Structure 1
Amino acid sequence: MFRGLSKALDWLQELPSLHYKHAPSNERMLCLLKHCGNPERKVRFVHITGSKGKSSTSQSLAYLLSKQGKRTGLFSSPHIQSYNERIKIDNQPISDDEFLVVINEVHTAAQNCSSQGSRPTFFEKIFSAALLYFQKKHCEWVVVEVGIGGLHDSTNVITPQLSIITNIELEHCDILGYSIEEITYEKAGIIKTGVPVLLGSQTHNVVFNIVRKTAEHQTSPLYIYDSCTQHSIRKQGIDGITATLAVTPCAYRGKSNSAQTSNTQVRSKALLTHIVQNQMLATLGLAILRKHAHTIETLPAKLYFPQSAQLPCRGELLHNTLYLDIAHTPQSLSNTLRFCSMFFSQSILLLGISQDKEHERIAKAIALYLPCFQRIIVTKAGSIKPQNPTLLYNALKNTESHFKKQSTRRSTLRCINDHYTAFEKALAYAKKKHAVLVICGSSYLCSDCRKYYLTEYLSHVS
């Protein structure tokens, strides 16, 4: 029994968040839940996976359900400032006292499971704590974001009312596989028998083919975002985005494809179009839940996603000075840097990518936008994951001659190993040049810099 949250969190982190691709089942997870009273059987879920956009889609759908008066839980990762952020009800993080209560219950359950075999990991323990909390608080709906992959993820012990698969790219290749096909099979593993599945926009055609075959095998109605929606971005700027959205929830090759079209005007404080597209994906998810006989109201003529409906460090602009985005895949980084090149006349780039990412592909993908920055600093991706910033620095250096030929504007490229030192130097230079400091890449880098900026830097300059 832990008397304080600090000691309880130390216990949570005793074993890392290992994901066992070749494990035959989620035996440890199932054992934990059994000794916790099987809270996963008492709540309705939406399960969300993907390579890009799963966090903002999860947050958006939870927001939409809450706006309909449904008591809605959200389990997501990673956190930015505290572990409490991973477990929310109606956008409010779990309190320290309530967190301590459910961790103590999971600790007791884990002791029973440890006597029967291997010890549960961090991710298994915190997900069990989340499920206990959602059950205790009588949540009507819980949106669950997958940790990594899907098929062998610890969250894949739930039976949802809807599964959502966002855009799939190469990621976590050492765990999920080194091809789009392998990764898609892992992601499609969240599809359950008879449960409708929604597939977001995809870059690779093979994703659709694999998901379609899996859905057919599981006799699950399949909804394709690009077939069920039409949208148009009307306005984009520093104040947000306005768009129109038409939603027609027709299942792919369904027996009855008659569905009413809902026309909605979407206003969002999000700055990036792909985040608004994730909000539209969540909106379609809501319409599908309604179609499948759940007590969901019709879509309103106007939808507004305020800043509170956004996740921190996902296209977040603080005081018109610091721009944070945990974009870390080639496509998402390209989207973010394209936005910065359009709307920030003066900007500095601080970039940190984890060691398991493909630095050469990232360098090639973002080379076009690098001349838009006066200074580019490569650093460590925060203080947790193993990394060598010179890998990305050298990859960018190899593209330097190319992007200098494409632009008359000269950018300086530097590598600073310590990310706090890199942040201080970048922020000082941005302030001197009246520029926006753009921080991209690892969630750990964005988290550390955001926390330092809000707690240390602002207190010194005020």
Structure 2
Amino acid sequence: MGRGVEWQFDPTLDRINALMDVLGTPQRSYPVVHIAGTNGKTSTARLVESLLAERNLRVGRFTSPHLTSVRERICVDGAPLSEERFVEVYQDVLPYIEMIDERLGKVSFFETLTAMGYAAFADAPVDVAVVETGMGGTWDATNVADGVVSVITPISLDHTDYLGDDVVTIAGEKAGIIKPDGTVVIAQQEVEVAEVLLRRAAEVDAVVAREGLEFGVLGHELAFGGQLLRLQGLKGVYEEVFLPLYGAHQASNAACALAAVELLTAGDEPLEQDLVRQAFAGVTSPGRLEVIRRGPTVLVDAAHNPGGMRASIEAVHDSFDFSHLIGVVGVMADKDVRGLLELLEPVLAEIVVTRNSSPRAMDVGELAELAEGLFGADRVRVAPRLDDAIDIAIGLADEGGEFSGTGVLITGSVVTAGDARHLLHAKGI
């Protein structure tokens, strides 16, 4: 699939629109729940998918980036396309891609995957597709679909080189998934972000459901393996809902997912309590504060911007009783690395800096220099390879016998999380 690098951003929908047209507009074959935002998109997509599947609907899920295999991005019935099916879908769309290549310029890697996802969902066929934007909203390739329900998860600074260097500009780009006469579920946002989203909704006559006003989290308490929630939906209150994910941000994602599915459901009656409980009790979100092993506890988390890292750190504080936490950190060079390290410094006793498998990864020497400036040289270890970094961190945790609760947090990037899951033989995806 030689389609260029994924992180190239080209603000046009001309190629993907043309490609969808020659493919027979597969994205119009089913209702779409379209999800944009800076953090929480993938977890929210999986939560929506779980609720819909519990209602015996066939669901397609399109998310990005992947942790281990690109096939994870296109799922039907909760599972990635098989290798054979993935190749078959690619071969099916390739002649049309080559046609657009000649007419409008080279179809990108992400546009190719988007077309494959929409085509695979139409062919399945699915009853509903849950689609996460890749970057932004207005100019994101997934935006060739008209979401019956749009969901905007929390917006903060990320991809500033492409989307703008302030949250208001970024919010304007992400607001582009709100469609005329559609419905939008808005997670709690900064005031100026909420104003942009509400203005867009008013301009296109979209119905708005806001977390904290029309729906939200009424209560959450720590439970073994996750949390117990009380949720205010748009159609009723849902009691004693166990969610096997950690953190207030995941409770918020669950509330948004619940509201989105209520909006897809006819009538004014709430969803069945047991249906919601069963759906959420079985949900997973790999690489999102995921416990990979115990003794010592090793957490893998994909946080890669300050907004996501702040939520993850709060979740670690609320959900785990660590007295001594060791970090393994590998980041992308184009991220707010100092911002990430500043958030981690008060939390980590020691940090092992490393790099992941991406060509965009920050040089270990540069990362070590930044870390030493914030942590002090005595708290920083350096390991050019991630497997060595994990071994060092687990060794340090094992040595900390005097500490009753020692853990390891592997974080800094989705790629770091995916690489760590592979190295530690994590199950499920």
> Would you call these one fold, judging by a TM-score over 0.5?
yes
Please point out which of 310, 318, 321 is paired with 1:334.
310
Counterpart among 18, 25, 28 of residue 41 in structure 1: 28
Does the residue aligned with 2:104 lie in a helix, a strand or coil?
Answer: coil
Q: Do the aligned partners of 2:292 and 2:421 also contact (CA within 8 Å) in 1?
A: no
Classify 1:394/1:304 alpha carbon distance in 2 versus 1 (closer, same or farther; 3 Å): farther
Between stretches 85-94 and 331-340, larger displacement belongs to 331-340
Matching residue within 239, 249, 264 for 1:289: 264
Q: CA deviation at 1:160?
A: 1.3
Aligned counterpart, 2:284? 310
Alignment-mate amino acid for residue 192 of structure 2: V
| Contact kept in structure 2, 1:376 and 1:411, CA below 8 Å | no
Structure 1 alignment gaps of length 5 or more: 1-11, 250-259, 402-409, 456-462
| Residue aligned with 1:314, SS | coil
1:418, distance to aligned residue in structure 2 (A): 3.0
Q: Which amino acid aligns with 2:209?
A: Y
Map 1:36-435 onto structure 2 (within 5 A).
36-202=23-189, 204-247=190-233, 249=234, 260-290=235-265, 293=266, 298-302=270-274, 303-305=277-279, 308-320=282-294, 321-341=297-317, 342-370=320-348, 373=349, 375-400=350-375, 412-433=379-400, 435=406
* SS of aligned partner of 1:69: coil
Q: Please give the secondary structure, in 1, of the residue aligned with 2:289.
A: strand
- Bigger Cα displacement from structure 2, 318-327 vs 169-178: 318-327
**Length, aligned pairs only:** 416
CA distance in 2, matches of 1:190, 1:154: 11
The one-letter amino acid paired with 1:355 is A
How much has 1:432 moved relative to structure 2? 4.3
- Report the Cα offset of residue 288 of structure 1: 2.0
**Residue of structure 2 equivalent to 1:404:** none
Q: Quote how far apart the aligned CAs of 1:447 are.
A: 0.8
More displaced stretch, 106-115 vs 29-38: 29-38
Shift of 1:411: 7.2
For 1:429 and 1:263, the matched residues in 2 are separated by 43
Cα separation, partners in 2 of 1:354 and 1:447, compared to 1, 3 Å: same
SS in 2 for 1:337: helix
Distance 1:18 1:32, change over 3 A: farther
Shift in Å, 1:297: 7.1
Q: CA deviation at 1:369?
A: 1.6
> In the alignment, residue 369 of structure 1 is paired with which amino acid?
V
Shift of 1:285: 1.2
CA distance in 2, matches of 1:422, 1:306: 34
Higher relative contact order (CA 8 A, sep 6+): 2
Are the counterparts in 1 of residues 32 and 146 from structure 2 also a CA contact under 8 Å? yes
Deviates more, 1:150-159 or 1:308-317: 308-317
Q: What is the distance in 2 between the residues matched to 1:392 and 1:149?
A: 27
Shift of the 51–347 alpha-carbon distance from structure 1 to 2, 3 Å rule, reads: same
CA spacing shift, 1:19–1:400, aligned 2, 3 Å: closer
Say whether residues 1:447 and 2:414 are aligned partners.
Answer: no
Q: Partners of 1:102 and 1:246 in 2: how far apart?
A: 40
Residue identity in the other structure for 1:412: R
Change (3 A) 1:384 1:63: farther
TM-score using structure 1 length: 0.84
Matches of 2:310 and 2:164 in 1, distance apart? 23
Secondary structure of 2:346's counterpart equals helix
Name whichever of 314-323 and 187-196 sits farther off.
314-323
Which stretch shows the higher mean deviation, 92-101 or 184-193? 92-101
**Secondary structure, in 3 states, of the residue corresponding to 2:181?**
coil
Aligned-pair distance for 1:445?
0.9
Q: Please tell me whether the aligned partners of residues 36 and 105 of structure 1 are also in contact (alpha carbons under 8 angstroms).
A: no
Whether the 8 Å contact between 2:27 and 2:145 is mirrored in structure 1 is: yes
Out of 60-69 and 427-436, give the one that drifted further: 427-436
User: Amino acid of the residue matched to residue 421 of structure 1?
Assistant: D
Partners of 1:32 and 1:128 within 8 A in 2 = yes
Q: Could you say what secondary structure the match of 2:134 adopts? A: coil
TM-score, normalized by length of structure 2?
A: 0.90
> Per-residue CA shift, 1:202-257, capped at 9, x if unaligned?
1x21111111111111111111111012434442144210011122x3xxxxxxxx
Letter in 2 for 1:448: D
Deviation of 1:78 (Å):
1.3
Contact 2:50 2:280 in 1 (8 A): no
Alpha carbons 1:262, 1:299 under 8 Å: kept: no
Q: CA deviation at 1:427?
A: 3.0
Greater alpha carbon shift after TM alignment, 377-386 vs 391-400:
391-400
Given candidates 5, 18, 23, the residue that maps to 1:16 is 5
CA distance, structure 2, for counterparts of residue 99 and residue 338 of structure 1: 38
Identical aligned pairs, as a percentage? 25
Structure 1 residue 438 displacement after superposition: 1.2
